[in-house]
């Protein structure tokens, strides 16, 4: 692939997270600067998988693993919000997404939020989007994230 095609592909692959971040309001009119994972910086996909490690035994199929990753990304991002915003979001989720069994889902999300606070406090990255690509031997996870300023 030519250098021009790689730059084009990289630019268009990363454009979608910009839109998502702007629509959520989490950027609060800040400029978005996208860069590859820098030297000494751990990939967000590796961090997310480590974050989910205690729950991996619950996911015994590819579909269950995909749901676990979605729940983990949600909990990761909720932990970055203020307590009031987090409670409002959790109430909305309980009433819509998790309406069939809200107690179990809410308990798991709250446990994940607490785990994130205890073990990943210094990581201020917000998960903008992720892609799971199945292959015969594994699921490949690619995560786009952005670093939020310190609070």
Q: Is residue 84 part of a domain?
A: yes
Three-state SS annotation for 51-70: HHHHHHHHCCCHHHHHHHHH
Q: Is residue 35 part of a domain?
A: no
Q: Is residue 34 part of a domain?
A: no
Among 61-70, 84-93, 95-104, the least confident range: 95-104
Query: Do residues 61 and 72 touch, judged by C-beta distance below 8 A?
Result: no
Residue 31 has a pLDDT of: 53
Q: How far apart are alpha carbons 68 and 58 in whole angstroms?
A: 8
Mean pLDDT value across the chain: 79
pLDDT, one tens digit per residue, over 39-55 is: 677 899 999 999 999 99
Range of the domain at 57: 42-147
Q: Is residue 126 part of a domain?
A: yes
Q: How many beta carbons lie within 10 A of that of residue 89, not counting itself? A: 15
Q: Give how many domains the chain has, as a whole number.
A: 1
Among 16-20, 76-80, 96-100, the least confident range: 16-20
Q: Is residue 22 part of a domain?
A: no
CA distances from 81 to 28, 89, 133 (A): 13, 10, 29
Q: Is residue 5 part of a domain?
A: no
Residue 9 has a pLDDT of: 39
Global pTM reads 0.73
């Amino acid at each position: 692939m030519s250098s021009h095609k790689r730059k084009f592909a990289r630019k268009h692959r990363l454009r979608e997270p910009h839109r998502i971040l702007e629509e959520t309001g989490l950027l609060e009119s800040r400029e978005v600067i996208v860069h590859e994972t820098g030297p000494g910086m751990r990939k967000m996909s590796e961090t997310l998988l480590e974050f989910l490690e205690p729950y991996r035994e619950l996911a015994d199929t590819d579909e269950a693993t995909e749901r676990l990753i979605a729940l983990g990304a949600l909990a990761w991002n909720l932990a970055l919000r203020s307590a009031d915003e987090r409670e409002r979001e959790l109430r909305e989720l309980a009433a819509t997404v998790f309406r069939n069994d809200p107690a179990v889902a809410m308990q798991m999300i709250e446990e994940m939020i607490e785990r994130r606070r205890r073990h990943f406090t210094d990581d201020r990255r917000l998960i903008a989007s992720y892609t799971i690509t199945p292959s015969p031997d594994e699921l490949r996870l690619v995560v786009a994230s952005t670093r939020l300023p310190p609070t």
